[in-house]
Amino acid sequence: MASPIAFKPLSENKTLQILSAAEQGHYAVVSPVIYNLEHIIGSIRAAEAKRAPLIIEMFPWAITFSSGLLVHCAAQAAKQATIPVSVHLDHAQDEEQIRYAADNLPFDSIMIDMSHHEREENLRKTKELTEYCHERGIAVEAEPGRIEGGEDGIADTAELEGVLTTEKDVEDFAAAGVDVLAPAIGNVHGSYGARGPQFDLKRLQNIQSSIAGRMRIALHGTTGVPDELLRQCIAKGVTKVNVNK
């Protein structure tokens, strides 16, 4: 049966166009997690008021909860927006659901999150699913290393050892074809507690140098992160800033 989605070449991918412009302009694009239609409308109106690009993202439960309807709403709102807007699936961990989303739903990009697996398995699954998405014109984000904590409906890594991203990870995930890297630099999903965020900015700098323009950088775990620290991360190559609170 033919897919209901008309696939475009990866060269026309909206998420990659938005992030490439951000990299060239030395700024980052906010990527809020949306939970309902009001979030979609409010996020786009706020972006339009600032004349700023936007990446709307949602967790996998949004697919099952609404049988994909929320995704279509976001895609239609993005199409009607007066600023560049793309639609992103965040922390997709179920391989069958990733293939279903790529085949049947209007996502511009998907985060293939296999970070709950050990490194080699993470890499193998990521490469295989990246190829599948690219064949359908969908950009891919992935997480080398392991960002601690959990989010709505996502496998919680709190009981797993946090693993910081290395320069070898950069090479391996670039070779896997990943478009956007979500590195683990001491960032966590959820609260940072009394100490606050303890980001390894030198590691982020080395990651940017190793990437050498081959991938964009996404920053996860921004709850409670001070503006000045965000600016430092953007100066070191971050172009996508995930926001969930």
Residue with tokens 């140098």: 209
Annotated ligand binding at 91? The verdict is yes
> Tokens 């992103």 — which residue?
88
* 88 labeled part of a ligand binding site: no
Report whether 189 belongs to an annotated binding site. Answer: yes
Exposure string for 136-159, b = 16+ CB within 10 A, e = fewer: bbbbbbbbbbbbbbbbeebeebee
**Residue 243: which of 17, 20, 29, 15 has the closest Cα?**
29
Local structure of residue 115 (DSSP, 8 states): T
CA gap 228, 245 in Å, rounded: 18
- SS3 state at 118: coil
Query: Is 39 annotated among the ligand-binding residues?
Result: no
List residues with catalytic annotation: 90
Q: Give CA–CA dist 216/53, Å, rounded.
A: 16
Is 26 annotated as contributing to ligand binding?
no
Q: Give every CB contact of residue 62 below 8 A, 6+ residues apart in sequence.
A: 34, 35, 70, 71
Residue ranges of the annotated binding site are: 91, 113, 143, 189, 220
Residue ranges of the annotated binding site for Zn(2+) are: 91, 113, 143, 189, 220
